Amino acid sequence: MGRYLFLRLVDAIPTIWLVLTLVFIAMRILPGDPAIAALGDTALPEQLAQFRAKMGLDVPLWHQYLNFLYGVVTFNLGTSYMNGASVLDLIGRNLPYTIELTAVAMIMGVGAGVPIGVMAATNRDKLPDNGVRAFSLFGHAVPDFYLGALLLIIFALNLRWFPINGAGNGFADRMYHVFLPALTLAMVKAAFIGRLTRASLLEVLGKDYVRTARAKGAREPRVIYCHGLRNALLPLSTGMGLSLLATFSGSVAIELVFNRPGIGRLLIQAINERDYGVIQGGVIVFAIVVVLINLMMDLLYIVIDPRIRVK
């Protein structure tokens, strides 16, 4: 298993390198000057030149690229053009907020999605099933930033149950702050996972071994949860993996709407300001997260279905 993990991580290096190279090129192609973004559009030529020299933007592109790659392998991603803070430090301070939001949203999304999926499957074509399908359609159709703004207006502005912005301090305050943004992401996830659970469970419930279990007199909850849901988990786990990725990337819009700190907000700000170091650092985080989640899903398959063996 250890060897398998090591090889998978080594396999990921070219992918990450490719992503970083593409981002490096894209940022340089994108019109806009980091020096003007940092110093303002009335900055004078000598101030701009001084800034470019200080930030290493006055050397040829290939040189900048090599400096960047060297920085990545030595864990030195440079400093932000805007405030001089270390990029690693900025990422280190923002990443926990995004992880927190993603984790809470996933717990809420899966926690609600699986039961409603089971409810729909076990009440096929009845009212609960139709309700779940309608909710699922809504979840797929509504953009999360719109839903976020809607929840913000209802629950934070009008009812005043939740804070409008920020991330809070201390565990209880942080959970209080994260609830509404997480709920926004979770509603979309619950819709997706609910539909997936329904489809997966319906397929499994039609199998011979389920019929056999019922014939042997097993009680219905045992049939559903032990024989049905357990075997439906494999396709469901793929969906959850995809959902986790979507939640992590979906945090970008939600962090903006709820004015929460996090990698998404950091990245958007950096793109607007052409803060190359922070953009590159943020993209590395996203690339690594994608690789790790994929790896995690592969390992989960092995745990769920022992028939899949590591070769």
Partner 1 sequence: MSLKRREFLELAAATAAMSMVGLRAARAQSADVIRVGIAATGPRTSDPNQTTQGGDNWATEQMYEQLVRPEDGTFATTPDQYVPTLATEWTTSPDAKTWTFKLRQGVQFHKGYGEMTSDDVVFSFKRAIKEGTNTTILSNIADVVAKGPYEVDIQLKTPDVNLLGTSIFCNNTSIVSKKAFDKIGAEKFATDAVGTGPYELTRFDNQWGVAMKRHEGYWDTKNKAKIASAECVYIADTTARTLALLSGDVDMIEAVRAPGWVDSMLQRDSTLKFDMTAPGSFNTLHVNLNRKPFDNLKVRQAIMYAVDRHAVADALKPMGGFTAGLQPDFFPAGFKTEDLPPELQYNYDPDKAKALLAEAGFPNGFDFDSNCSQREDYSSIMLIVQEQLRAVGMRMNLHIGDHTAYHADNHMDKNTLALHSSSYPPIPTQLYFQQLSTKSEVKADGKGGINYSHYGVAMPGIDGLLDKALQSTDFKSYVDYCKQIELQVLRDLPLIGMSTLSFTVARNARVNLGYDVKSGYARWRFHRATKTA
Taking Cα atoms as reference points, which of 244, 248, 253 lies closest to residue 297?
Answer: 244
CB of 215 to partner 1, least distance (A): 35
For binding to partner 1 (CB under 8 A), which residues are involved? 30-33, 36-42, 44-49, 82-85, 90, 93-94, 97, 149, 152-153, 156-157, 160-161, 163-168, 172-173, 176, 256-259, 261, 265, 269, 272-274
The nearer residue to partner 1, 76 or 165, going by C-beta atoms, is 165
Question: Is there a contact between 118 and 197 (Cβ–Cβ < 8 Å)?
Answer: yes
CA gap 168, 163 in Å, rounded = 9
CB of 263 to partner 1, least distance (A): 11
Question: Among all chains, which residue has been given the structure tokens 């090599």?
Answer: 66
CB of 248 to partner 1, least distance (A): 19
CA gap 191, 140 in Å, rounded = 7
Burial 24-63, CB ≥16 within 10 A → b, else e = beebeeeeeebbebbbeeebeeeebeebbeebebeeeeee
CB of 234 to partner 1, least distance (A): 31
Question: Among all chains, which residue has been given the structure tokens 């053009």?
Answer: 81
CB of 216 to partner 1, least distance (A): 31
Taking Cα atoms as reference points, which of 261, 276, 236, 267 lies closest to residue 249?
Answer: 267
The nearer residue to partner 1, 62 or 171, going by C-beta atoms, is 171
CB of 259 to partner 1, least distance (A): 4
Taking Cα atoms as reference points, which of 27, 49, 24 lies closest to residue 36?
Answer: 49
The nearer residue to partner 1, 39 or 290, going by C-beta atoms, is 39
Which uninterrupted H or E stretch holds 90? Answer: helix 87-122
Question: Among all chains, which residue has been given the structure tokens 């913000």?
Answer: 152
The nearer residue to partner 1, 134 or 164, going by C-beta atoms, is 164
CB of 214 to partner 1, least distance (A): 31
The nearer residue to partner 1, 72 or 149, going by C-beta atoms, is 149
CA gap 72, 79 in Å, rounded = 13
The nearer residue to partner 1, 132 or 253, going by C-beta atoms, is 253
The nearer residue to partner 1, 194 or 277, going by C-beta atoms, is 277
Q: Which two tokens stand for residue 302?
A: 């092995």
